[in-house]
Amino acid sequence: MVYRIVKRGFDLICALFALIVLSPVFLIFIIAIKFDSKGPVLFKQKRFGIHKTHFEILKFRTMKVETPNDVPTHMLKNPQQYITRVGKFLRKTSLDELPQILNIIAGHMSVIGPRPALWNQYDLIHERDVYGANDVPVGLTGWAQINGRDSITIEQKAKLDGEYVKKFGFIMDIRCFVGSIVSVLKGDGVVEGDITQA
């Protein structure tokens, strides 16, 4: 598909530009994370990419090193006990996702697409198969992200990802991009803990 080629070019241009412009911000966060708690600056985690291939997603570390691995935050009991002081700010503003610019440059991700599922989120992967949502590039943000994010169920996320697939194209990506900016500014959909208890 022609748009996929155009989309990849757009991703590279945006990611390289963002990396240059945001390099001072990266430096500030690196220093803040190192002073705030012990452990690495970056957090790596195995995720599903397009066609259910695996890759390591990058994030600024927002949780303590003793946090259980490969457990979605909303499934932790009392996740607040694991989140660092700097991490609270990074997660609330979604700035912990910035290192994924490197994933985009490497071709693991796109700017817009379904959020990459954890390697053990088989329920989400199965639901996305129903809608063909595993066969488009995963993204930094997407349709489900701006329509509920952490506050919606697996089934709802997969259905929204399916809507993205049906409307896959430039207009849909622009809607997701603009909607993501609005959602971040409003802090919509960020839930730390079991959504049934939110």
Each residue of 71-123: pLDDT tens digit? 667 667 778 888 999 999 999 888 999 999 999 999 999 999 999 999 889 99
What proportion of the chain, given as a percentage, has pLDDT over 70? Answer: 90
For residues 198 and 27, give the distance between their C-alpha atoms in angstroms, rounded to a whole number. Answer: 34
Model pTM?
0.85
For residues 142 and 144, give the distance between their C-alpha atoms in angstroms, rounded to a whole number. Answer: 6
Long-range contacts of 35-39 (CB under 8 A, 24+ apart): 36/84, 36/85, 36/86, 36/87, 37/64, 37/65, 37/84, 37/85, 37/86, 38/65, 39/64, 39/65
Max alpha carbon distance in the chain (Å)?
Answer: 47
pLDDT given for residue 196 in this prediction = 32
pLDDT given for residue 198 in this prediction = 29
pLDDT given for residue 9 in this prediction = 95
Q: Residues 6 or more apart from 145 whose CB is under 8 A from it?
A: 115, 176, 180, 183, 189
Share the mean pLDDT of the chain.
89
Each residue of 55-79: pLDDT tens digit? 999 999 999 988 877 666 766 777 8
Q: Is the pLDDT of residue 183 over 90?
A: no
